Chains A and B, each alone.
Chain A
Amino acid sequence: MRPGRLRAFASRLRELFLGRQINQDLQEELREHLALAEAEHRRRGLSPDAARRAAQRDLGGLEQTAESVRDRRGFRVFEYISRDARYAARLLRKAPGFTVAATATIALGIGANVAVFTLADAALFRPWPYPEPDRLVALWETYEGKATRSVLAAANFIDYERENQAFDTVAVYQRNEGSLSGSGSPERIAFEFVSVGYFPALKTLPVLGRPFGSQDYVDGHAPVAIISDAYWQSRLGGAANVLDQSIVLDERARRVIGVMPRGFRAVSDVGREGPAAVWLPSAFRPDELTNRNDHEWTAIGRVRAGVSLDQAQLDLARISAAIARNAPEPAQARAHVAPLADEQVESLRPLLLLLLGAAGAVMLIACVNVAGLIIVRALARRREVAVRLALGATRGRLAVELLVQSAVLVGLGTTVGLAAGWVLTRWLASIAPVAVTSVQPVGLDIRAMAVAGGLAIATALLFGLLPLRQFSGVKPVFALGGLARGTLGPGSMRGRQALLVLQLALGVVLAVGAGLMIRSAMAISAVPLGFNPDNVVAASVALGGRARYPTLQSRIEFFETLRDRIASLPGVRAVAYGNQLPLRGSWTSGFIIEPVGGEARVQASAGFQSVSAEYFDVFGIPLAHGRLIEPGDRTGQSGVALVNGAFGRALLAGTNPIGRVIRRGPVMPPIRIVGVVGDVRRGGRLADIVPQVYLPATQPELYSLQLTQFAVSTHGDAPALTPAIRAAVWAIDPDLPITNVRTIDETLALQLGERRFQTWLFSLFGAIALVLTTVGIYGVVSYAVGQRTPEIGLRLALGAGRGRVLALMLRQSMILAALGSAIGLAAAYGLSRYMTALVWQVSPTDPVSYLQAAAVMIMATLAASLFAARRATRVEPSEVLR
């Protein structure tokens, strides 16, 4: 824009806002003009009356002049727009059916997109919640000959920290759980051990107090802790003197030296349910400083400004090479870096991107429907448009009016859509797997609003300009009667059919996705667990490390007492305890199978579990052969074990395990196998069955597994018993924290959360697509029937049967359905590789899902067309041909 134009624009803008003042000034100026002219006319000898009339005549009318000046000033277009908006609102009120249908459809599209975007934004797009997040990297090692990533050994970390030139800071952390005791009931919390560079690397320091300094890492220094804002507020009541207080974590008092800012998230919080509440200085054990094979520490780094990732990687490779030279090891470590944000959410990317795609498809389908409605309405207005053109309206004015009408409609839809999106977001956040929602808080924010706004503008333009095309052929002369009735020309009819095919194809793609998800979910739920998860509630207690339970025997005594106490509660069927329970961890160990006959000793590995006698009753695991663990299997008696069916199949070549003897090591006590129980999927429905050994908890000398968990089988409402169970624990030991109190059913559901989430969403989008597409087809077919009523009447009059007429009307929509399905199936096939990560035991090109999707779409088309075409069969030839 040249400067003069710009100045005029600015001046107009100012006038727009000074409107009232400028109008008054103008009136005054013009009145003065008339007064001067009148005075002059009187000087020339006219009478006062004649002078006034002459002055008026010379000026050409006060109001006309004022109007033409106003046209020059400001932007008249704003006045037009507000007038058009009122007119548009009136039009919408006059057609409530159209308004509701279009608003709901737009709202559905916008709502779905806003909700999915909000979720994806929190996990994928939004910048990481630390300053300058793009310089934050995750750091790990790989070892020669192994593909798996390895976290760092402390010794290697120290070298990277000291020798690097490419980083501002390199730091490590390790997440742990601990018991906080002291005031109130004991609590299990998550905390992080962090190296001194952790907070500087995140560029986030405590708001109160100080970060860790090197003195905090010196052995023998007073133990210190930094706490989260949430912990400070909830547990310490936000006390101002918090820095003088101590917290007791795992029975050790630690002075609070800092409080992190509100909303600060620990790096390890991603994918975890609860945020870390406490940070402790990482204390490396002396042996860790020399042993480079002890990989325990997860590393992050902040790359120096201006240093690329490749340079940082090279810098670390140089250090890895030096480590290998100085401390030769069997395997050579190689360090890797990648942006921390990408690294932490990599596994979520395919799911969230596919969901965004699905939401986009829903939006497109919705737009096609609304566009169809708008085109039909535009046709009905062609005569009105012709009249207005004849009366001198410009096409530019008409375009503004149509855009305003579309904007009002879309604005309405978007408002409703945002409300729907808000509700949907809350629902999604509640069912979304913790991996998605733990990255950053999920909430409808300005970014989601911007997405809604962008979609709204695009759709408003689309819907505004579409009818303009319908009017392009309208000439003012039509107003004189040239246009008998509004009909779709062959061109726009084809356009509508193309849109319908697109809609059908998108619908088929979504239906294929939903089908794959549902079939995966069905395959998963059909997998037998091997145990009964119903009405069982489980919990963990951590006796280890507590001074009250110094010996294995004291821990067994605790659990025996606990078992008896809980078993006496009303509603309890049986109680069992063990080191681990199904879905709650596993423990694998090597052992020796004693040979029978002349063969050699066999080294093998299996899952080991230490359980009480009631375990198999509580979980409904059947006995196949031999006997179960009995109360008499105690220390002092000969060592016994049970195995599962897989044990015999995998390790004993299918021979009977009963009577065989195993040992944990050459000098360990012999363990005789006395029974075989049913196979169990310990890790849940997605896990494999592995050989398993069950040892009696009361024979800890066989293998001292830490007893930590117990399970309660009930006669009904298991969750209702939790308070009584907690009370039973605290009656024995008031300082003992109870964690992970959950029914086994809940744990199963949690485990499948991600899959259930994706199944739900794809099914939801598939269903929306189906409904919208059906409505769209209905609209197109009923319009076509309306258009062809005279033709149908003629055919009937000439003797065509009503069945033939119906077939005629159906033929076209079935052709479109076939075409749309074919395109949709091809598209779904093309997209199938992105689905691989999301399906289970079902191929992403599973023919059943594909055929189902196409069949459902074609059936829906048939049903909608039949419903719409019924009218054709009721045409009375005598009526329409008159």
Chain B
Amino acid sequence: MAPDKTDVAQGTLALMILTTLDTLGPLHGYGIARRIEQVSGDVLQMNQGTLYPALVKLEQEGWIKAKWGASEQNRRAKFYALTPRGRKQLQAETARWSRVSAIVGRFLKPSAS
């Protein structure tokens, strides 16, 4: 793997999907994949296939729901949207993530404390 590309860790992918759907609204799988790659400035090279099992898991948890709609090319595509429970989960995850990254950040810059 190239040194400047980062692999997507398990769990963080779920958070990225939820954030993406929160910002952009209902989106199909390809859209979500592209968005995640773009936001990461193409640093995050993901195997787009790994996205789909993650989507299934989020759907089973009831955080997102899927609906068939028309894609940009006007063909049938599956659109994913955040559910109210998903939004709540996103808030909880975001709070937890900031807490963790703040702590880790402090360890990485001990002089600042």
Of all chain B residues, which has the CB nearest A11?
Answer: B60
Complex CA gap A73/B47 in Å reads 20
Mark A13-48 against chain B: 1 for CB-CB distance below 8 A, else 0: 000000000000110111011011101100000000
Of all chain A residues, which has the CB nearest B59?
Answer: A11
Q: A12 interface residue, CB < 8 Å from B?
A: yes
Within the complex, the shortest CB–CB distance from A379 to chain B, in Å, comes to: 40
Within the complex, the shortest CB–CB distance from B6 to chain A, in Å, comes to: 16
Complex CA gap A30/B29 in Å reads 8
B60 touches A33 (CB 8 A): no
B57 touches A36 (CB 8 A): no
Cross-chain contact of B48 among A26, A35, A60, A72 (Cβ < 8 A): A60
Mark B1-45 against chain A: 1 for CB-CB distance below 8 A, else 0: 000000000000000000000000000111101100000000000
Q: A234 interface residue, CB < 8 Å from B?
A: no
B77 touches A29 (CB 8 A): yes
Complex CA gap A471/B15 in Å reads 42
Of all chain B residues, which has the CB nearest A5?
Answer: B61
B71 touches A32 (CB 8 A): yes
Complex CA gap A468/B77 in Å reads 48
- Interface positions, chain A 44-69, Cβ under 8 Å from B, are 58-61, 64-65, 68-69
Q: B100 interface residue, CB < 8 Å from A?
A: no
Contacts of B29 in A (CB 8 A): 29, 33
Of all chain B residues, which has the CB nearest A25?
Answer: B78
A36 touches B71 (CB 8 A): yes
Within the complex, the shortest CB–CB distance from B17 to chain A, in Å, comes to: 14
Cross-chain contact of B52 among A37, A39, A69 (Cβ < 8 A): A69
A33 touches B56 (CB 8 A): no
Complex CA gap A174/B47 in Å reads 88
Within the complex, the shortest CB–CB distance from A740 to chain B, in Å, comes to: 74
Complex CA gap A35/B72 in Å reads 11
Cross-chain contact of A12 among B34, B60, B75, B78 (Cβ < 8 A): B60
Q: A717 interface residue, CB < 8 Å from B?
A: no
Q: A177 interface residue, CB < 8 Å from B?
A: no
Q: A791 interface residue, CB < 8 Å from B?
A: no
Of all chain A residues, which has the CB nearest B55?
Answer: A69
Of all chain A residues, which has the CB nearest B46?
Answer: A58
Complex CA gap A68/B56 in Å reads 10
Contacts of B77 in A (CB 8 A): 29, 32, 36
Complex CA gap A39/B28 in Å reads 15
Q: B111 interface residue, CB < 8 Å from A?
A: no
Q: A159 interface residue, CB < 8 Å from B?
A: no
Of all chain B residues, which has the CB nearest A22?
Answer: B56
Contacts of A11 in B (CB 8 A): 59-60, 62
- Residue of A4, A29, A30, A71 with highest tally of chain B CB at under 10 A: A29
Cross-chain contact of A28 among B30, B57, B76 (Cβ < 8 A): B76
Contacts of A40 in B (CB 8 A): 34
Q: B110 interface residue, CB < 8 Å from A?
A: no
Given contacts A29-B29, A29-B78, A60-B50, contact A7 B73 (CB under 8 A): no
Contacts of A720 in B (CB 8 A): none
B side interface size, CB within 8 A: 25
Complex CA gap A28/B31 in Å reads 16
Contacts of A12 in B (CB 8 A): 60
Q: B49 interface residue, CB < 8 Å from A?
A: yes
Cross-chain contact of A65 among B30, B49, B62, B73 (Cβ < 8 A): B49
Within the complex, the shortest CB–CB distance from A505 to chain B, in Å, comes to: 53
- Residue of A33, A37, A65 with highest tally of chain B CB at under 10 A: A33
B48 touches A33 (CB 8 A): yes
Q: A527 interface residue, CB < 8 Å from B?
A: no
Given contacts A37-B30, A60-B48, contact A32 B76 (CB under 8 A): yes
Contacts of B73 in A (CB 8 A): 35-36, 39
A33 touches B30 (CB 8 A): yes
A32 touches B75 (CB 8 A): yes
B62 touches A32 (CB 8 A): no
- Residue of A4, A36, A60 with highest tally of chain B CB at under 10 A: A36
Cross-chain contact of A8 among B33, B53, B60 (Cβ < 8 A): B60
A73 touches B30 (CB 8 A): no
Given contacts A7-B61, A36-B71, A59-B48, contact A69 B56 (CB under 8 A): yes
Given contacts A58-B48, A68-B52, contact A36 B30 (CB under 8 A): yes
Cross-chain contact of A72 among B28, B56, B71, B78 (Cβ < 8 A): B56
Given contacts A32-B75, A65-B49, contact A4 B28 (CB under 8 A): no
Complex CA gap A571/B53 in Å reads 92
Mark B61-87 against chain A: 1 for CB-CB distance below 8 A, else 0: 110000000011101111000000000
Contacts of B49 in A (CB 8 A): 59-61, 64-65, 68
Complex CA gap A8/B49 in Å reads 22
A35 touches B75 (CB 8 A): yes
Of all chain A residues, which has the CB nearest B85?
Answer: A4
Contacts of A7 in B (CB 8 A): 60-62
Complex CA gap A32/B77 in Å reads 6
Contacts of B28 in A (CB 8 A): 29, 32-33, 36
Contacts of A29 in B (CB 8 A): 28-29, 52, 77-78
B62 touches A4 (CB 8 A): yes
Within the complex, the shortest CB–CB distance from B81 to chain A, in Å, comes to: 15
Of all chain A residues, which has the CB nearest B89?
Answer: A4
Complex CA gap A531/B62 in Å reads 88
Given contacts A7-B62, A11-B59, A36-B30, contact A60 B47 (CB under 8 A): yes
Within the complex, the shortest CB–CB distance from B37 to chain A, in Å, comes to: 9
Contacts of B72 in A (CB 8 A): 36
Given contacts A32-B71, A32-B75, A33-B29, contact A68 B50 (CB under 8 A): yes
Complex CA gap A33/B51 in Å reads 11
A68 touches B62 (CB 8 A): no
Contacts of A68 in B (CB 8 A): 49-50, 52-53
- Interface positions, chain A 563-611, Cβ under 8 Å from B, are none
Contacts of B75 in A (CB 8 A): 32, 35
Of all chain B residues, which has the CB nearest A33?
Answer: B30
Complex CA gap A58/B60 in Å reads 25
Of all chain B residues, which has the CB nearest A30?
Answer: B52
B53 touches A72 (CB 8 A): yes
Contacts of A58 in B (CB 8 A): 33, 47-48
Complex CA gap A33/B73 in Å reads 11
Complex CA gap A4/B88 in Å reads 14
Complex CA gap A60/B47 in Å reads 6
A69 touches B53 (CB 8 A): yes
Complex CA gap A32/B71 in Å reads 8
Complex CA gap A69/B56 in Å reads 7
Of all chain B residues, which has the CB nearest A8?
Answer: B60
B71 touches A73 (CB 8 A): no
Contacts of B62 in A (CB 8 A): 4, 7-8, 11
Contacts of B57 in A (CB 8 A): 72
Within the complex, the shortest CB–CB distance from B55 to chain A, in Å, comes to: 8
Q: Which residues of B contact A (CB under 8 A)?
A: 28-31, 33-34, 47-50, 52-53, 56-57, 59-62, 71-73, 75-78
12 A–B pairs (Cβ distance < 8 Å), ordered by A: A8-B60, A12-B60, A26-B52, A29-B29, A33-B29, A36-B31, A36-B71, A37-B48, A68-B52, A69-B53, A72-B56, A73-B56
Q: Which residues of A contact B (CB under 8 A)?
A: 4, 7-8, 11-12, 25-26, 28-30, 32-33, 35-37, 39-40, 58-61, 64-65, 68-69, 71-73
Taking A33-B30, A72-B53 as known contacts, 11 extra A-B pairs with beta carbons closer than 8 A to each other, sorted by chain A number, are A7-B61, A11-B59, A28-B76, A30-B52, A33-B48, A36-B73, A40-B34, A58-B47, A59-B48, A68-B50, A68-B53
> Nearest 5 CB-CB pairs, A to B?
A65-B49, A60-B49, A60-B47, A36-B30, A72-B56
